[in-house]
Structure 1
């Protein structure tokens, strides 16, 4: 590496410049949120509604709020509204328009809404949303807002772009200040930042080509790439630069670089492998959003590891002793590697190890108390709630909830394909029998379909006059052999009783009908089922791979097991805090959280996988130093103190940088990224403070030499020494 340092740097610069041309375009290609449970009954039902009933999954709601309290439901008001909206009908992207027929709440007549079905795919609708928005006139006497799924996704895309800029504006300067405080010189502080920013830019450029080939990649992916890329990229570089500066104290530049790559480089590889394993596990859940986040995360971690192990050594080889140049005068004093800092950690660790039983009990009480709220976690699938109320689509949706019955807005839709035309007497008989069986189910408020119009002794022809048939088809209620049956539940769409009702509906197999249960409640149930079905694989895979990675690194039976258990504790505590904020609303005003009541279902899984991987960074750094000292002395207690003294500053600095970068997402607009940022930030803080600096030394003291026990048939002592991971 030292010999070809200039060639390596030139190659990376070329790669960076080339991919930077595409990196900034990537977010504009990502139009899907990635939550669609492909192949599920709800998605198949949507396809039936689109193909056979002429409905569209791309739509907007024009929500009008009277400025002076005028009644917008009168005939005169409705005629005026439709007159002013008439120009919209002629637009090529409009398939159909109609006034919402959902039941209104009593006395709420100052708000009305018009549904516009778009003659576009969801992706096309998002690309043309600015044009669509501009075509909607401002209805006189009202404040006019655009809501609906297309508007929500458009605002979400806007929030994603803003969040990335927000995170970079706040996270990068804070990370630089922390690096300056750690290293005290400008070149040493800038090197990790260069690696982090380069990793993010290159990964975003690579993602551009993935997005061209696969349009299902989630629009949350750029946030994940930015968050993880800056965090792990800077952290990995921090480990390398710290070791290089240490080696330079007694060696030439080339020797220092070789030793750094052999020791810290191996630690970075193991850490990257651990994060990779956690992110790969996300593929166990069959939803595009998890595949997308896994893809983006794995790519940026891979690029970060490659940059830390190739580009950074080349830069360090070029700088040599000049890495100590340009000292920051305001930060004169002992560096992170100074004796005073080590003595501080040493005194704290001595205090903990002097009372290991008391320490373990106190820490367990704190962590278990923090975990308790997670036991009552309520999972949900938000839509417009992912955005703050200041966004137009969220505000318009809240207005609709104010005036319409929410359970009717989000009713259960059953797309049914009949054996005969919908107006055939046999079809009507079968549909009525099916509706009757649905009404008998518990927690059903009302069941409606076109067959509801055929009452008493009227024949089908008498009830379904040409005018009525035209109205039925124009409302996309029935057409040909396809119909839709609406089931209004007694409770909200995410209520457990509604979820149970959907499962009971799916058990009914009516004669002469092929049914697909869809609608917002069923769609969200299918998402939840995909997550819960894949969860055992994710947990098992992460546990096993984490254990095996640490087992391979340190040749110990108990150390990996202890690490897994401690990760569970810090993870559980962080999830407990997320539940307190997002479900119960504690601190919601401070964190600017506008939606409480449940936790987004993907968060626990995502936080679990990422936290387990990132925690291994600190685990590998810490245990490497402890094991090296134990090999020299054979004294478990002294080795633990020495190892934690040597790594305390590095781990603290790395954690502070990660908190700065990830924590910046807590105060962004996207409520999903807020929760991820809060979960990761609290997990890292708990892991580095309570777990690593208190629980680890206490347990190391209690277990003694058993920490290093290894069955003879697995490895001989001399073999253990040869395969040992060198210290970073």
Structure 2
């Protein structure tokens, strides 16, 4: 991929954009205003966290329990506390119930009751009321402010509303806050970097315009998609993070090239056309590389990943389109005025920077083997925490403790036995009605097998709820409508469906409980139709669905990326080297994420709450996003080195010249990206914090250690082998059309 003066498709594209430059700007202005009016409403439209493993045993079992046993569609937990008080006393419980009279009057409130979950010793200062709602997630979120308004604690007490709808509501609010917070932190720093790079206010502002346009347009498009499809409420954060980072980066490359072309070309029209032919073309193929990485997330069958994939595809596509239309049009209108409004003296811009990168390249190539071993071993050492990485699926933990729903959830974990609070549930379907003697016998036998399974603490069912007695005796008791009604009200059995609650020996998120879920699914049901569900099974199905598709994600992203680079460089080793170095930077950054989020290193300094595990989503997201973005820098650097090599045939000189010409720009672009994604470390949602840290570190390592040290060292070590290709590939290389920034 070389720079060229030939007039190809992108040259004519740039010339056309220049010709209709004012119409293009008007079109984008109308688009911005139109989508901007609905973009701010998008976070409120997204009411799904995206972690439902649709079609899995746990998902099907939960749905059937809700349908057949009339389990509530959604639950809220009202967590009351008062320091030094015993809230289990009758008078305290009565005061709590009296304070909920207005809540009971709401038509969609099905039941209000105190939690029957066994307590941990010494935590009588916490009391929990469970509120069952006849509302599914979307209507429950709409009614949540009304519900919250009716919940007033008795005098001297505090109350925290938690549970599914409350957590989702807080996540929506956090998402809105995070978008604003990341922009407040990231954009001023990005602008400062752009001012240093360009030295003029006009040149610095243009990339900001492209980034904001890309984000706003994408959120507007998402608003209309969300009318028909369920999307994860994490999508707006992903769009903001990627849109600002990629949009500003692409515009940086384009504006930088346009300023060069103004000095070379006869007029502004030629400068715009040649900027499109070089930087515009590279931005297009860079966007394709990023899209390939993002498409990897589509293989994981969870709404969370497919929503982020959709948001990423949209915002990167819009960024590429905006750079190659809007920005080219603005450059055509501004012309030489791109260099107006100086903020830095000419003498301070990039002074000595080219010479610096040249010295770095030759310095690295003096001892390439030693440097490769030191850097390679260092990066591999940074990957070692991955061997002890514990994956989990966060619920309320995605929010910081300052949010009410998270704090309420934390109080419940302290006050109650988490195993009892979140048991494994088994949906049992009998051929005859559950009240029949034959059904009682089958359920009793299956419950016995379940109780004898290693890792089971106790089993609860409608059979043992009736007390001791033979199958015939229990069947006789259940002939009474009152006995049946009591079990139906307890949500234990009805018609042909029964619920088995299995309390594990270990905590719900313990690996031993995962083994137990798998063992229970292997049990012989003895003529019963069973589905293992409940919190632990739900969590396991989510992790299995993610991990089960990782080979496909890796094969697709690395395989397609290798083929794209093979086509670009016509070399066997260069694409392979690029893929392997990407793995090093990704592994090292993930190792640091494990240290921070799982083990708590530097957590306080980064305002992060260590939750003892890493979200199972992070490795896939970071891999897919960073792989594409890193390839952008790889293509930029290697294409310049290749251009020099084809004209000189000197591998060492070409490497030094390539780094000399690209080092400053790559570093600036990477720093902007690190600042934008890194600003999410200081937002509220823990997944986005981890994503910001992981992406920021990956890009930082890639643009510094990898590009500045490993690339020159390996180019020196491999020598002419860098450029080796089989005969058929060399023939195509001679006939191919050049491209590049």
TM-score (norm 1): 0.97
Alignment partner, residue 15 of structure 1: 31
Match of 1:455 among 467, 483, 488: 467
What is residue 733 of structure 2 aligned with on the other side?
720
Asked whether the equivalents of residues 316 and 323 of structure 1 are also in contact (C-alpha less than 8 Å), the reply is yes
Tell me how far apart the structure 1 counterparts of residues 179 and 389 of structure 2 sit (CA, whole Å).
29
8 Å CA contact 1:197–1:230 kept in 2: the answer is: yes
Map 1:48-63 onto structure 2 (within 5 A).
48-63=64-79
Is 1:250–2:264 an aligned residue pair?
yes
Q: RMSD over aligned Cα, in angstroms?
A: 1.5
1:397 maps to 409
Query: How far apart, CA to CA, are the structure 2 residues paired with 1:157 and 1:359?
Result: 48
* Higher deviation after alignment, 124-133 or 679-688: 124-133
The corresponding residue for 2:59 is 43
**Correspondence list, 1:290-305, <5 A:** 290-305=305-320
Q: What is the CA-CA distance between 1:472 and the residue it aligns to?
A: 2.4
5 Å matches for 1:619-638? 619-638=634-653
Counting only pairs closer than 5 Å after superposition, residues 32-431 of structure 1 correspond to structure 2 as 32-67=48-83, 69-214=84-229, 216-251=230-265, 252-329=267-344, 332-336=346-350, 338=351, 340-431=352-443
Counterparts in 2 of 1:22 and 1:457: CA distance versus 1, 3 Å: closer
Q: Which moved more, 1:43-52 or 1:692-701?
A: 43-52
Task: Please give the alpha-carbon distance, in whole angstroms, between the structure 1 residues aligned to 2:30 and 2:569.
Answer: 38
CA–CA distance in structure 1, aligned partners of residues 692 and 607 of structure 2: 13
CA distances 1:652-702 after superposition (whole Å, capped 9, x unpaired): 110111011101000111000000000001101111111000000000011
- How far did residue 453 of structure 1 move? 2.4
In 2, the alpha carbon distance for the partners of 1:344 and 1:721 equals: 34
- In 2: Cα distance, 1:237 partner to 1:564 partner: 26
Shift of residue 643 of structure 1?
0.8
Matches of 1:250 and 1:651, distance apart in 2: 22
Task: Give yes or no for contact 1:410–1:521 (8 Å, CA) kept in 2.
Answer: yes
**How far is the alpha carbon of 1:722 from its aligned partner?**
4.7
Corresponding residue of 1:5: 21
What does the per-residue CA deviation read over 1:214-245, in whole Å, with 9 as the maximum and x for residues that have no partner? 0x200000000000000000101111111111
Whether the aligned pair in 1 keeps the contact of 2:289 and 2:628 (CA below 8 Å) is: yes
Answer whether contact 1:2 1:254 (CA < 8 A) is retained: yes
Q: Which moved more, 1:450-459 or 1:686-695?
A: 450-459
Provide closer, same or farther for how the CA distance between residues 90 and 470 of structure 1 changes in structure 2, counting only shifts above 3 A.
farther
Hey, what's the Cα distance between the residues in 2 that align with 1:441 and 1:589? 42
Contact 2:96 2:153 (C-alpha < 8 Å) held by counterparts: no
Work out whether residues 436 and 475 of structure 2, in 8 Å CA contact, stay in contact via their aligned partners in 1.
no
Q: Is the 8 A contact 1:555 1:724 kept in 2?
A: no
The question of 1:573 aligning with 2:588 is answered yes
More off after superposition, 675-684 vs 52-61: 52-61
Residues 183-228 of structure 1 deviation map (CA, whole Å, 9 limit, x = unaligned) = 00011101111111000000000001110010x2000000000000
Report the counterpart of residue 607 of structure 1 in structure 2: 622
Q: Which residue of 2 aligns with 1:646?
A: 661
Cα shift readout 1:56-102 (whole Å, capped 9, x = no counterpart): 242100111124x2322223332332233233222122122222111
Does residue 24 (structure 1) correspond to residue 40 (structure 2)? The answer is yes
Alpha carbons 1:380, 1:601 under 8 Å: kept:
yes
Contact 1:450–1:478, Cα closer than 8 Å, also in 2: yes
Structure-2 change in CA distance of 1:618 and 1:121 (3 Å): same
Q: Tell me, in whole angstroms, the C-alpha distance in 2 between the residues paired with 1:71 and 1:455.
A: 31
Q: Give the CA deviation at 1:332.
A: 4.7
Question: Partners in 2 of 1:73 and 1:419 — Cα distance?
Answer: 42
Paired residue secondary structure (2:119):
coil
Distance 1:432 1:387, change over 3 A: same
Q: CA deviation at 1:250?
A: 2.2
Whether the 8 Å CA contact 1:36–1:527 is kept in 2: the answer is yes
Contact 1:64-1:139 at 8 Å conserved across structures: no
Match of 1:526 in 2: 541
**Structure 1: 5+ residue runs without aligned partners?**
none
Aligned residue for 1:249, secondary structure, equals helix
Structure 2 CA distance, aligned partners of 1:382 and 1:652? Answer: 35
TM-superposed CA distance for 1:402, in Å, is 1.2
Structure 1, 509-518 or 636-645: larger mean CA deviation: 509-518
Q: Residue 436 of structure 1 corresponds to which residue in structure 2?
A: 448
1:382 alignment partner, SS class: coil
Partner SS, residue 521 of structure 1: helix
Superposition misfits of 4+ residues, deviation over 4 angstroms: 461-468
Post-superposition offset of 1:557 = 1.2
The separation in 2 between residues aligned to 1:101 and 1:359, in whole angstroms, is: 63
Deviates further, 7-16 or 525-534 = 7-16
Q: TM-score, normalised by structure 2?
A: 0.95
Do the aligned partners of 1:263 and 1:725 also contact (CA within 8 Å) in 2? Answer: no
Question: Could you list the per-position Cα deviations for residues 491-522 of structure 1 after superposition, in whole angstroms to 9, with x for gaps in the alignment?
Answer: 11121111011011111242342211111100
Q: Which piece of structure 1 moves more, 535-544 or 591-600?
A: 591-600
Q: Is the 8 A contact 1:554 1:725 kept in 2?
A: no
CA distance in structure 2 between the aligned counterparts of 1:722 and 1:254, rounded to whole angstroms: 29
Relative to structure 1, the CA distance from residue 84 to residue 461 in structure 2 (aligned partners, 3 Å threshold; closer, same or farther) is farther
Task: Give the superposition deviation at 1:555.
Answer: 1.4
CA-to-aligned-CA distance 1:3-61 (integer Å, 9 cap, x gap):
11112111111211111121111111000000000000111111112111111242100
Q: Retained in 1: the 8 A contact 2:182–2:679?
A: yes
In structure 1, the partner of 2:725 is 710
Q: Contact 1:266/1:725 (CA < 8 Å) preserved in 2?
A: no
Asked if structure 1 preserves the Cα contact closer than 8 Å seen for 2:99 and 2:151, the reply is no
How much has 1:314 moved relative to structure 2?
0.9
Greater displacement, 262-271 / 217-226: 262-271
SS at structure 2 position matched to 1:261: helix
Is the CA contact (8 Å cut-off) linking 1:160 and 1:219 kept in structure 2? yes
Residues 22, 208 of structure 1: 8 Å contact kept: yes
Between 43-52 and 414-423, report the one with greater CA deviation: 414-423
Structure 1 residues 245-254 or 468-477, which shifts more? 468-477
Aligned length: 721
Q: Cα deviations across residues 379-419 of structure 1 (Å, max 9, x unaligned)?
A: 11111111111111111111111111011111101122222
